[in-house]
């Protein structure tokens, strides 16, 4: 099968980290200002696509770098440390690559990959308010002559406003879960501009209304024959979400380190105990050492989960995939908790001066508080506990 030659540099195992660090340094410069002024991240998302990093997991057989989830996880953490909202924006782009493992024909997969290899970036429109039972979307996609027509409304559409193309979930006339690929400026598609959360503001995850949006038949993706359960796709989504949290946790820890280095005023109690420097305070040393250890543990759990997923992603062994998913769940729950707590506690290292608006350190907590609400950590802990006690694996998610 032939495909168009890429026009962006493709990352390799030797170059992707250097490229990611350079890009992260660039977007970090204005991250506080963008958040304070409620800017969307369209320019930054498109720029990320032009680095080639967003092709990371496109298979070599389709013209991509063919790198794994361990590399993807590390790259996402680096960018999340610079801007957690931007890192979340790309979650749906890589989700589209992963969805194509299960949905779409070989020709459709190559079409999407060719777009990405030329720098196109993808958002999503999957979540709905009041989604009906058994997981099928309320949004409908119905035949109309040679094409399809898409109607309904979505919310939490991360990447859609900021991207070029949108992956939309819908239910077809045969009550099948379906994806449609539509351009963000399609006729009949309108954005609600109603994204008003206090964190992850730049994701611009607003509502979208589809009013009889026409979709060519070759852009409607059904589950291909022989496709397995949704569980592997869920694992990859969760891995990226976890990488975002852990990257933001590292940003909080680094911010705490800078506050400690800059602080000169000692607590009266510390002076009374004979301390001459802030770095002599054993309480500071203890707390920072505790958080450094927890952050490292989260990163190692994440690395272990990513490598475990790499080992089984192309397997037909549902049990092996289920076990890998549980390892990722450990990183997701623990890493999110560590990051969120660190983003709150870091202010104690700097005192009242750390709350200065010009520092923008509240952005870390706000972003983490919003992002860690994406799914229920108690379900993950319950499934981890159930497997540890009885060996039972999580069930596949319905329909998707």
6 domain-assigned: no
395 domain-assigned: no
282 vs 134, which has greater pLDDT? 282
Residues spanned by the domain of 110: 16-121
Sign for the CA dihedral angle at 30, 195, 171, 213 comes to negative
285-298 pLDDT tens trace: 899 999 999 999 99
Q: Which of 251, 279, 281 has its CA nearest to residue 346?
A: 251
Instruction: Answer yes or no: are the C-beta atoms of 187 and 213 closer than 8 Å.
Output: yes
Regarding whether 352 and 254 lie in a shared domain, the answer is yes
Last residue of a domain, one of 195, 221, 247: 221
326 domain-assigned: yes
Q: What is the CATH number of the domain that holds 99?
A: 1.10.540.10
Residues written for the chain: 400
Q: Which of 336, 292, 262 has its CA nearest to residue 80?
A: 336
How much of the chain exceeds pLDDT 90, in percent?
75
In this prediction, residue 399 carries a pLDDT of: 52
In degrees and rounded to multiples of 5, residue 134 shows phi and psi of: 55, 20
200-215 pLDDT tens trace: 999 999 999 999 999 9
Regarding whether 319 and 178 lie in a shared domain, the answer is no
Give the Cα separation of 211 and 158 in Å (integer): 20
Regarding whether 196 and 321 lie in a shared domain, the answer is no
379 domain-assigned: yes
SS3 readout for 49-103: HHCCHHHCCCCHHHCCCCCCHHHHHHHHHHHHHHCHHHHHHCHHHHHHHHHCCCE
In this prediction, residue 397 carries a pLDDT of: 66
Regarding whether 177 and 48 lie in a shared domain, the answer is no
Per-residue confidence at 141, pLDDT binned at 50, 70, 90? very high
* CA separation, residue 61 to residues 1, 3, 398 (Å): 9, 10, 30
Q: Which of 173, 172, 167, 163 has its CA nearest to residue 154?
A: 167
36-88 pLDDT tens trace: 999 999 999 999 999 999 999 999 999 999 999 999 999 999 999 999 999 99
Last residue of a domain, one of 198, 221, 244: 221
Whole-number average pLDDT of the chain: 91
Per-residue confidence at 264, pLDDT binned at 50, 70, 90? low
Regarding whether 247 and 200 lie in a shared domain, the answer is no
Regarding whether 269 and 332 lie in a shared domain, the answer is yes
235 domain-assigned: yes
23 domain-assigned: yes
205 domain-assigned: yes
Helices (H), 274-361: 282-312, 318-350
Q: Which of 38, 54, 50, 52 has its CA nearest to residue 90?
A: 54
352-391 pLDDT tens trace: 888 899 999 999 999 999 999 987 788 899 999 999 999 9
């Amino acid at each position: 099968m032939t495909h168009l030659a890429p026009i962006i540099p493709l990352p390799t195992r030797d170059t992707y980290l250097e490229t990611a660090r350079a890009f992260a340094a660039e977007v970090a410069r204005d991250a506080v200002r963008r958040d304070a002024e409620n800017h969307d991240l369209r320019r930054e998302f498109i720029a990320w696509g032009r680095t080639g990093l967003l092709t990371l997991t496109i298979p070599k057989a389709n013209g991509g770098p063919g790198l794994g989830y361990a590399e993807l996880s590390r790259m996402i953490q680096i960018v999340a440390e610079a801007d957690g909202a931007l890192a979340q924006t790309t979650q749906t782009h890589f989700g589209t690559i992963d969805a194509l493992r299960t949905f779409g024909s070989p020709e459709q997969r190559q079409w999407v990959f060719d777009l990405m290899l030329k720098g196109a970036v993808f958002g999503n429109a999957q979540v709905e308010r009041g989604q009906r039972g058994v997981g099928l979307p309320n949004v409908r996609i119905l035949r109309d002559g040679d094409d399809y027509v898409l109607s309904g409304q979505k919310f939490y559409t991360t990447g859609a406003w900021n991207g070029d193309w949108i992956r939309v979930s819908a239910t077809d006339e045969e009550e099948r879960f379906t994806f449609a690929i539509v351009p963000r400026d399609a006729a009949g598609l309108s954005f609600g501009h109603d994204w008003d959360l206090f964190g992850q503001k730049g994701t611009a995850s607003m509502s979208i209304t589809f009013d009889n949006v026409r979709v060519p038949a070759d852009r409607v993706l059904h589950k291909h024959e022989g496709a397995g359960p949704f569980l592997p796709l869920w694992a990859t989504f969760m891995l990226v979400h976890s990488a975002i949290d852990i990257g933001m946790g590292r940003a909080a820890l680094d911010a705490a380190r800078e506050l400690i280095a800059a602080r000169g005023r000692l607590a009266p109690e510390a002076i009374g105990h004979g301390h001459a420097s802030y770095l002599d305070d054993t309480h500071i040393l203890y707390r920072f050492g505790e958080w450094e250890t927890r952050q490292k543990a989260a990163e190692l759990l994440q690395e272990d989960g990513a490598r475990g997923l790499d080992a089984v992603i192309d397997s037909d062994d549902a049990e092996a995939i289920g076990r890998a998913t549980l390892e990722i769940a450990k990183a997701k729950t623990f890493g999110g908790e560590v990051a969120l707590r660190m983003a709150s506690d870091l202010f104690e290292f700097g005192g009242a001066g750390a709350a200065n608006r010009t520092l923008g350190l509240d952005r870390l907590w706000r972003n983490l508080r919003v992002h860690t609400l994406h799914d229920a950590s108690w379900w993950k802990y319950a499934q981890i506990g159930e497997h540890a006690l009885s060996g039972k694996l999580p069930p596949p998610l319905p329909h998707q």
